Chain A
Amino acid sequence: MIRIIKRGIELILDQERALYIPYYQLLVISDFHLGKSGHFRKEGLQIPRQVSETDITRLDHLVAMYNPKTLLVTGDMFHHHHNMDLEEFRIWRIENKTLEIILVKGNHDKLASIFYEQLAIKLFSIYYEIGDFCFVHEQKDAPDHGKYIFSGHIHPGILLKGPARQRLKLPCFVFDDNTALLPAFSLFTGLYLIQAKTGQEVFAITANRVTAVATF
């Protein structure tokens, strides 16, 4: 993991594609896409169940490790409609009753509100603010009042080129002075390759660590 400071507050970048803010005891993930594999199966596409199980297990480890007060999901927590994968999450939720869960709604979150109530998930439709930080799903939806903006949605990835035509695509965090892009939490998601610009810091996520790849 890597620690950086933004607006005077420490952020921890975890290799499990999560962000932890100790000061607020806040664990942030984006683009969970729970139920995506189940949705694929319903449509006749063969995805092993372990895909969603692994995502839930990873979340479980993160919660055990940081012991946060709040879990914040910046959009696309649930992939589409209800399916079996979501039932596994329900079981996990019951085992983690005391955790507060906040969801800033994303374009995929289309379930009926009763469902969120049952899982005790607090909904924020556009953004959620705490201190100097503002969390949105898509960066364009952020209000313009000088806060530091965290967003998800695009599943950022970076292409690293090595000698002998080696190419490696990795998910990443991208920071600049006023905004941050969060990687998609779910392993069953694709990557949108970003072109790093001047003033950005990019942190690539490999199998077992987070590394700063370049400061532009």
Chain B
Amino acid sequence: MKKTMGYQHVLKWLKTSKRKPFPFQEKTWESYLQGYSGVVNAPTGFGKTYSVFLAPIIAYLNEEHGQSKKKKKLGLRMIWITPLRSLAKDLARAMEETLLELNIDWTVGVRNGDTSVSDRQKQKRAMPQVLLITPESLHLLLAQKNTDHLFDDLTCIVADEWHELLGTKRGVLVELALSRIKGIIRSRTDRTLRIWGISATIGNLEEALEVLQPDHMVPKIIVKADAEKKIRIQSIIPDTIEMLPWAGHLGIKLADKLIPIIKKSKTTLVFTNTRSQAEIWFQHLLKIHPDFAGQMAIHHGSIDFELRNWIEDALHTGILKVVICTSSLDLGVDFKPVDTVVQVGSPKGVARFLQRAGRSGHSPFETSKIYFMPTHALELLEVAAIKTAAKTQQIERREPFILPFDVLIQYLVTLAVGDGFDDKIVFDEVKNTFAFSELLAEEFAWCMQFITQGGNSLQAYPEFHKVVLDEEDGLWKVTSRQIAMRHRLHIGTIVSDAMLKVKFLTGGYIGMIEEYFVSKLKPGDRFNLAGRSLEFVMVRDMLVLVRRSNHKKTITPSWMGGRLPLSSNLGAILRKKYSQVLTENHEEEELTVIKPLFELQESITHVPLEHEFLVELIKTKEGYHLFAYPFEGRLVHEVMAALVAYRISKLMPITFSIAMNDYGFELLSDQEIPMDDAIVYEVFSPDNLSEDINASINGTEMAKRKFRDIACISGLVFQGYPGKYLKNKQIQSSSSLFFDVFESYDSKNLLLRQAYDENFHYQLEEPRLLRALQRIQQSTIVLKSAERFTPFSFPIKVDSMRESMSSEELEARIERMKAEVFKNLD
């Protein structure tokens, strides 16, 4: 490679700015030139983008060099898939600059939801050589007519931030689009396409590559940068450890300690776990340090697009000192001025924490700095666990979706809206993707019947004409313009909650809040959004009209979703850390600080060792409590608690109320809970798991909730655009209605089956539950009794009371409970 003209040209260009390629970049170029597909994995700031972007350019320069005569104008050469629209804009700018400096006359086009119609038309006439596109827009491209020739010059498709797409249905969109483009190219030339992914470190990189490029005949490689990114993780340690940590403080008690950190940094990003927490932090920081006004901003998914754009631009130019944000800033282009990151509360997973840390200190030899702000004392151990995980590279896997029929159905209609498709060819293509490698011929046939006849073969409906066979060319097509238009509007797999836009009476959008929250507002009520205090006036034309309010006392909207459970990877490391606090000599600051708390725990009941599992039976005035600590995350605990409750109730009639957090769960009853060393193994047994789960929770109700997204993606429910009125009132319906209809009349419906499967895997997390129960079964279960709450049980207890009490009542009651715990201890 090194002798090739293309490589020399690129090298010369790098030299002019005193740079030279990293070994992993050369490795990538070399592999590319040899025809490999692959995944590049390198820390942020090391030029992952260039490693892949320059490869097809070197190849192109080499080709050009070999050809003397001028050939026809080059078409689309490279498709660059990005998960975020905001990424595309800045990437395109950087690519254009590079091409200009390299003196290559390629153009770079961006195509996503924001691209204007005229630009789309222009692209249709003359494709740019590099096209930056989101997975949804790529499908929209396939939904156009006469697209086959577009890919005649295509040599490379890149999936940027592939780890982000991998575990989602958007990743499946990418898989399907790739399968079709490969098919189109195969039918027209004998070229093979090279497919490259760019990914952060995840636990299953090999699988990530398999998903992206499932073809067996193609040579594949994972290129890892050997450079290591330095990350410094610093906990913000409270002056005094509260002996009884209660969760959900939001961490604002420690906010004072944040001020000097922000002051001495250039720009700080403060990550919170939820949007409402971000709003509260914003208000609080402003209160304790009013000088930040004007230098502080808030960024989350419910803030108006324009406003977010402005904040992102301001981050680039460095005029902001601090931005409070949520996962909305996890991804995206690097903000050069950001040199410090703060994580408030548990990040729930190692990968996410490291990704956030990587948002600071971008250039290769800088150190990323991240501060961890615990919201209660036990979270300090989480950061200790993450430090260990970062050292040993125990990063979570991203599980790819398997057999999402809703996405397949949407995709088939997409193809039918475009040039039409041959079902035999497309079946083979789809079957070759990772997501649908287990697809059965009869399942595909069912999907075909669903979109062509409106149901299974036994009930063909003459009036159903969604996708029809064109007798002339034998392709399946959508002929109704109305159906085609509606389908194009809803291509994609992101289903949003019913959200309403918030607008000032005097004009100007602020953001979005959930319909559910709006329904509880009365005119004159005040709430916080985008860091502003607003007074609700009325709802008109799907807009929430507000005016500015000067009142201090406001409520913060809560947004649904977004509460990720603790990853099982982090849970495992955390269990180990817990066992080490009292037993080992350690130098970790976090473990030392927390020691008195664990000594209290040990004096009341026990601190479990690594091979132990603690179950506490605690009797208080309130009743009889059972606490258990599997560290498997909220979702698993919810099901496990219901399961254990059910199994105990089979021994004797007894009623429980249930509470849980990411660390453990509580069962509470007014009767004494029958429990001994034998029973405890029985109720935590992995035997008869599925049967007992079905008996203990309402799976149908849960599946119904999962069906909501499925109905939208498969096109059963038309959502329209957020904030826009729906025109087709008479075909509006709710997904739960469809669910009931299919349950009663069409029980073999694959979408229905998918809802139950998704519930099983993603909500019940049954496989994870099974593994947890097997682990518990093999451990020593330590059963302890006490007459007061322990430091471990206290956060769960407090969390369960939060839902039913006002904050004043809650504070008072917690103080009383604390007093109880310390009684007679000395």
> Which residues of chain B have C-beta atoms less than 8 A from A79's C-beta?
730
> Which residues of chain B have C-beta atoms less than 8 A from A166's C-beta?
698
Bound-state CA distance A36–B731 (Å) is 8
Judged by a CB distance under 8 angstroms, whether B422 is at the interface is no
Judged by a CB distance under 8 angstroms, whether B480 is at the interface is yes
Which of A38-46, A120-128, A131-139, A174-182 contacts its partner? A38-46
> When the two chains form the complex, which single residue of A41, A187, A188, A189 contacts B461, counting CB atoms closer than 8 Å?
A41
A sample of 23 inter-chain contacts (CB < 8 A) reads A36-B730, A38-B463, A40-B733, A41-B454, A41-B463, A42-B463, A43-B482, A44-B464, A44-B480, A46-B450, A47-B741, A48-B455, A48-B745, A48-B746, A50-B744, A50-B745, A54-B745, A83-B463, A84-B463, A108-B730, A164-B657, A187-B740, A189-B737
> Which residues of chain A have C-beta atoms less than 8 A from B658's C-beta?
164
Bound-state CA distance A39–B454 (Å) is 12
**Closest-CB distance, A183 to chain B (whole angstroms):** 15
Q: Which of A39, A44, A49, A187 has the most CB of B within 10 A?
A: A44
Bound-state CA distance A190–B698 (Å) is 22
**Closest-CB distance, B350 to chain A (whole angstroms):** 31
- Contact assessment for A46 and B731 in the assembled complex, using a CB-CB cutoff below 8 Å: no
Within 8 A of B (CB), among A75-112: 79-80, 83-84, 108
Within 8 A of B (CB), among A36-66: 36, 38-51, 54
Chain A residue with the shortest CB-CB distance to B409: A46
Judged by a CB distance under 8 angstroms, whether B462 is at the interface is yes
> Which residues of chain A have C-beta atoms less than 8 A from B742's C-beta?
48
- Contact assessment for A40 and B731 in the assembled complex, using a CB-CB cutoff below 8 Å: yes
Q: Which of B464, B480, B744 has the most CB of A within 10 A?
A: B464
Judged by a CB distance under 8 angstroms, whether B547 is at the interface is no
> When the two chains form the complex, which single residue of A36, A45, A187 contacts B716, counting CB atoms closer than 8 Å?
A45
Identify the B interface with A (CB < 8 A). Answer: 450, 454-455, 459, 461-466, 480, 482-483, 486, 657-658, 698, 715-716, 728, 730-731, 733-734, 737-738, 740-742, 744-746
Bound-state CA distance A108–B730 (Å) is 9
Interface residues on A, range: 20 to 34
Judged by a CB distance under 8 angstroms, whether A163 is at the interface is yes
> Which residues of chain A have C-beta atoms less than 8 A from B465's C-beta?
42, 44
Bound-state CA distance A46–B746 (Å) is 11
> Which residues of chain A have C-beta atoms less than 8 A from B734's C-beta?
190
Bound-state CA distance A40–B465 (Å) is 11
Bound-state CA distance A41–B728 (Å) is 14
Q: Would you list the 9 A-B pairs with minimal beta carbon distance, nearest first?
A: A44-B466, A50-B745, A48-B745, A41-B464, A44-B483, A46-B454, A43-B731, A80-B730, A190-B734
Bound-state CA distance A80–B462 (Å) is 18
> Which residues of chain B have C-beta atoms less than 8 A from A163's C-beta?
657
List 4 additional A-B contacts (Cβ < 8 Å) besides A39-B730, A40-B731, A48-B741: A46-B450, A49-B459, A50-B745, A84-B461
- Contact assessment for B480 and A48 in the assembled complex, using a CB-CB cutoff below 8 Å: no
**Closest-CB distance, B463 to chain A (whole angstroms):** 5
Bound-state CA distance A189–B732 (Å) is 10
**Closest-CB distance, B375 to chain A (whole angstroms):** 24
Bound-state CA distance A45–B746 (Å) is 14
> Which residues of chain A have C-beta atoms less than 8 A from B741's C-beta?
47-48, 51, 188
**Closest-CB distance, B695 to chain A (whole angstroms):** 15
- Contact assessment for A190 and B737 in the assembled complex, using a CB-CB cutoff below 8 Å: yes
**Closest-CB distance, A39 to chain B (whole angstroms):** 6
Chain B residue with the shortest CB-CB distance to A84: B463
**Closest-CB distance, A76 to chain B (whole angstroms):** 11
Q: Which of A36, A45, A84, A189 has the most CB of B within 10 A?
A: A45
**Closest-CB distance, B813 to chain A (whole angstroms):** 21
Bound-state CA distance A46–B742 (Å) is 10
Bound-state CA distance A44–B715 (Å) is 9
Q: Which of B462, B657, B658, B730 has the most CB of A within 10 A?
A: B730
> Which residues of chain A have C-beta atoms less than 8 A from B480's C-beta?
44
Chain B residue with the shortest CB-CB distance to A169: B736
Chain B residue with the shortest CB-CB distance to A167: B701
Bound-state CA distance A6–B730 (Å) is 34
> Which residues of chain B have C-beta atoms less than 8 A from A83's C-beta?
463
Within 8 A of B (CB), among A133-173: 163-164, 166
Bound-state CA distance A190–B278 (Å) is 36
**Closest-CB distance, A35 to chain B (whole angstroms):** 10
**Closest-CB distance, B66 to chain A (whole angstroms):** 51
Q: Which of B658, B698, B737 has the most CB of A within 10 A?
A: B737
Chain A residue with the shortest CB-CB distance to B519: A193
Once A163-B657, A188-B737 are accepted as A-B contacts, the answer to whether A45 and B715 lie under 8 Å apart by CB is yes
Bound-state CA distance A54–B465 (Å) is 23
> Which residues of chain B have C-beta atoms less than 8 A from A38's C-beta?
463
Bound-state CA distance A164–B657 (Å) is 7
Chain A residue with the shortest CB-CB distance to B483: A44
- Contact assessment for B462 and A84 in the assembled complex, using a CB-CB cutoff below 8 Å: yes
- Contact assessment for A42 and B455 in the assembled complex, using a CB-CB cutoff below 8 Å: no
- Contact assessment for B745 and A45 in the assembled complex, using a CB-CB cutoff below 8 Å: no
- Contact assessment for A190 and B455 in the assembled complex, using a CB-CB cutoff below 8 Å: no
Once A40-B733, A41-B454, A84-B461 are accepted as A-B contacts, the answer to whether A46 and B716 lie under 8 Å apart by CB is yes
Bound-state CA distance A163–B461 (Å) is 44
- Contact assessment for B730 and A49 in the assembled complex, using a CB-CB cutoff below 8 Å: no
> Which residues of chain B have C-beta atoms less than 8 A from A41's C-beta?
454, 461, 463-464
**Closest-CB distance, B645 to chain A (whole angstroms):** 10
> Which residues of chain B have C-beta atoms less than 8 A from A45's C-beta?
715-716, 731, 733
Bound-state CA distance A51–B744 (Å) is 9
> Which residues of chain A have C-beta atoms less than 8 A from B657's C-beta?
163-164
- Contact assessment for A39 and B731 in the assembled complex, using a CB-CB cutoff below 8 Å: yes
**Closest-CB distance, A127 to chain B (whole angstroms):** 24
**Closest-CB distance, A81 to chain B (whole angstroms):** 9
> Which residues of chain A have C-beta atoms less than 8 A from B745's C-beta?
48, 50-51, 54
> Which residues of chain B have C-beta atoms less than 8 A from A44's C-beta?
464-466, 480, 483, 486, 715
Bound-state CA distance A187–B745 (Å) is 12
Bound-state CA distance A187–B737 (Å) is 9
Q: Which of A48, A84, A163, A190 has the most CB of B within 10 A?
A: A48
> Which residues of chain B have C-beta atoms less than 8 A from A46's C-beta?
450, 454-455, 464, 716
Q: Which of B454, B455, B698 has the most CB of A within 10 A?
A: B454
Chain B residue with the shortest CB-CB distance to A189: B737
Bound-state CA distance A44–B530 (Å) is 40
**Closest-CB distance, A44 to chain B (whole angstroms):** 4
Chain A residue with the shortest CB-CB distance to B728: A43
> Which residues of chain B have C-beta atoms less than 8 A from A39's C-beta?
730-731
Chain B residue with the shortest CB-CB distance to A49: B459
Bound-state CA distance A47–B740 (Å) is 11
Bound-state CA distance A166–B483 (Å) is 38
> Which residues of chain B have C-beta atoms less than 8 A from A189's C-beta?
737
**Closest-CB distance, B38 to chain A (whole angstroms):** 41
**Closest-CB distance, A23 to chain B (whole angstroms):** 35
Bound-state CA distance A29–B730 (Å) is 20
> Which residues of chain A have C-beta atoms less than 8 A from B740's C-beta?
187
- Contact assessment for A43 and B483 in the assembled complex, using a CB-CB cutoff below 8 Å: yes
> Which residues of chain A have C-beta atoms less than 8 A from B462's C-beta?
84
**Closest-CB distance, A187 to chain B (whole angstroms):** 8
Q: Which of A39, A47, A51, A190 has the most CB of B within 10 A?
A: A47
Bound-state CA distance A41–B716 (Å) is 10
Bound-state CA distance A80–B728 (Å) is 12
Bound-state CA distance A84–B459 (Å) is 13
> Which residues of chain A have C-beta atoms less than 8 A from B698's C-beta?
166
- Contact assessment for B715 and A48 in the assembled complex, using a CB-CB cutoff below 8 Å: no
> Which residues of chain A have C-beta atoms less than 8 A from B737's C-beta?
188-190
Bound-state CA distance A43–B478 (Å) is 12
**Closest-CB distance, B479 to chain A (whole angstroms):** 11
Bound-state CA distance A166–B454 (Å) is 34
**Closest-CB distance, A215 to chain B (whole angstroms):** 25
